[in-house]
Amino acid sequence: MAKLQLKGLRKQFAPNVIPVKDINIDVEDGEFLTLLGPSGCGKSTLLRLIAGLDEPTKGRVLIGDKDITSTAPGDRNIAMVFQSYALYPHMTVFENIATSLKLRKTPADEIKRRVNDVAQKLELGHLLDRKPGPMSGGQRQRVALARSLVRSPEVFLLDEPLSNLDALLREQVRAELKQLFNSQQKPVVYVTHDQTEAMTLSSKVAILYDGYLQQLDAPHEIYTHPANKFVAGFVGSPQMNLPTLKCEGNYAILGEFKIPLPDFPTMPKQIVMGIRPEDVRLARPETSEATIKGKVILVEDLGKEKLLICQVENSDKNIRALVPYDRTWDELVTLELPAQQIHWFDVETGDRLLRY
């Protein structure tokens, strides 16, 4: 059983450089876990701890029931694609991809079959006889990817493996990866900055920030029920509106507009209101939802839609709304904030106030 378990993992490089603090995650066979978080939040460090390239300050790594925390990287049977990948410049693409199979004394005809198969999937078939030196960044990155996919390891670790590909190729390779990992049924831990990639590939997403695991959930759950203000602001584009508002009675106050609050056990004095721009609508006349008025101060053309940045009347706060491309509006707009789509967060801790 190749189930991967991270137990209380911590990595401290210096007194105040602790990019991994007490991380507990399980990744089942066939599960695809994506690590998502801002630059420097410890994603690569966490992968290196799993691969055995760095030793944890505390905690354990298990594959199946076996504790591999002190096992040398070469003895872990883990395939890793590095963020900065190095290929052997004197070898052809074929030889680069085949290295690990040769080391394991795989028969020549099987090596040929497996290398050709993976090369085809990653559109490298025509480059097998070339040396990687003069190739483009995207081509070299796919060779590095092929080199680890060709193996049958117990765990796959991939650190931004598609970052150098153009949008179209990224989409193609993404689909291939999905199929490939589906057929392997091994735990995959994948790092990316690309939220579409995270959402489309993963069965689970781990949001990391400040060394801590902020939320671990299915992509849809992360999107619809962010556990705290950080996750709410980090996931989704355009970014969620997250103004801090005063509370009066059962209402949050935005300018001179009142937004009804759910029944909290104790009413806070201030609160963070979260609503995604795609959930803010130009108000329908018959609406029974809370509405606010604002002046459109900026319009961003996103191709399919337009993002209106509106300054709320009698307030210094802006609310962004995504509207269909062909909609028209006056300079002063009325916006509808559907109660079902509003997330409420604690001002001090940032935590979500009601889960459902």
Ligand X SMILES: Nc1ncnc2c1ncn2[C@@H]1O[C@H](COP(=O)(O)OP(=O)(O)OP(=O)(O)O)[C@@H](O)[C@H]1O
Residue 46 Cβ vs Mg ion, minimum distance, rounded to whole Å? 9
118 versus 235: smaller Cβ distance to ligand X? 235
The listed partner (Mg ion, ligand X, none) that binds 132, CB under 5 to 8 Å by sort, is none
CA distances from 300 to 238, 281, 306, 320 (A): 11, 16, 6, 10
Residues in contact with Mg ion, counted by CB under 5 A, come to a total of 2
Looking at the Cβ atoms of 44 and 148, the one nearer to Mg ion is: 44
Residue 333 to residues 40, 133, 311: CA-CA distances in angstroms? 40, 57, 10
Residue 192 within binding range of ligand X, rule CB under 6 A: no
Binds Mg ion (CB under 5 A): choice among 11, 21, 31, 44: 44
Which lies closer to Mg ion via its Cβ, residue 100 or residue 163?
163
Q: Which is nearer to Mg ion, 98 or 198 (CB)?
A: 198
Nearest-10 crossing angle of helices 137-149, 93-103 = 20
Tokens at 149, concatenated: 């996919």
The amino acid at residue 87 is L
Please list every residue from 21 through 80 that binds ligand X, using CB under 6 A. 37, 39-45
43 or 151, CB closer to ligand X?
43
From the list ligand X, Mg ion, none, partner contacted by residue 264 (C-beta under 5 to 8 A by kind) = none
- Measured N-to-C along each axis, helices 108-121 and 167-184 cross at an angle, to the nearest 10 degrees, of 140
Measured CA to CA, the distance from residue 205 to residue 6 in angstroms comes to: 15
Angle at CA of residue 52, ends 148 and 159, nearest 5° = 45
Beta-bridge partner residues of 212:
209
Nearest approach in angstroms of CB 44 to ligand X is: 3
Would you state the structure tokens that stand for residue 106, as one six-digit string? 């795989």
Say which entry of ligand X, Mg ion, none residue 103 contacts (CB below 5 to 8 A, set by partner kind).
none
Helices 93-103, 108-121: axis angle to 10 degrees equals 130
Our finding on whether 339 is near ligand X (CB under 6 A) is no
**Nearest distance in Å: CB 54, ligand X:** 7
Residues 332, 338, 341, 345, CA torsion sign: positive
Alpha-carbon separation of residue 209 from 10, 33, 75, 98, 130 (angstroms): 14, 16, 31, 37, 41
Instruction: Decide which of Mg ion, ligand X, none touches 17; Cβ closer than 5 to 8 Å per partner kind.
Output: ligand X
Residue 62's closest CA among 1, 7, 5, 142?
A: 5
The verdict on 218 binding ligand X (CB under 6 A) reads: no
Options 75-83, 138-146, 228-236, 272-280: segment touching Mg ion (CB under 5 A): 75-83
Distance CA 334, CA 310 (A): 10
308, interface contact from ligand X, Mg ion, none, CB < 5-8 Å by kind: none
Least distance to ligand X from the beta carbon of 216, Å? Answer: 16
Q: Is 45 in the site for Mg ion (CB under 5 A)?
A: no
Q: Find the shortest distance in angstroms from Cβ 194 to ligand X.
A: 11
Residues binding ligand X (CB under 6 A): 13, 17, 19, 37, 39-45, 83
Residues binding Mg ion (CB under 5 A): 44, 83
